[in-house]
């Protein structure tokens, strides 16, 4: 348990890393534009973020394989749901 006052789910480092769709901090004004719109952590969470990313292999701002799979799965689920909606609305014969 990392925090006695806030036990939470006590997820593993790998589980937390897999949930980081945007593995970077919110950008400052003069940094990468894509990091202004979407980010995975605030600077106040740096200690926890660095702990989660400690064993990540690759560039510091790349997703782990599990996060890539999670993102792809999410896209597939939304696409299937959209097709189902169109079918039920009678827009697909």
Phi, psi (degrees; rounded to nearest 5) at 41? -160, 155
pLDDT digits 0-9 by tens, 14-56: 999 999 998 988 877 677 666 667 888 888 999 999 999 998 8
Phi, psi (degrees; rounded to nearest 5) at 65? -60, -40
Distance (Å, whole) CA 90 – CA 57: 47
**Domain-located, residue 32:** yes
**Domain-located, residue 1:** no
- Domains identified in the chain, total number: 1
**Domain-located, residue 20:** yes
Full-model pTM: 0.70
Give the pLDDT of residue 2: 61
**Domain-located, residue 3:** no
**Domain-located, residue 34:** yes
Q: Other C-beta atoms within 10 Å of 21: how many?
A: 14
**Domain-located, residue 62:** yes
Give the pLDDT of residue 37: 79
Give the pLDDT of residue 34: 67
Boundaries of domain holding 83: 13-88
């Amino acid at each position: 348990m990392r925090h006695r006052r806030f036990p939470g789910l006590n997820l593993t480092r790998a589980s937390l890393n897999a949930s980081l769709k945007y593995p970077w901090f919110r950008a400052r004004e003069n940094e990468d534009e894509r990091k202004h719109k979407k980010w995975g952590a605030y600077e106040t969470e740096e200690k926890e973020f660095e702990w989660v990313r400690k064993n990540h292999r690759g560039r510091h701002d790349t997703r782990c394989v599990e996060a890539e799979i999670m993102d792809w799965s999410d896209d597939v689920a939304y696409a299937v749901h959209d097709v189902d909606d169109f079918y039920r609305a009678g827009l697909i014969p």
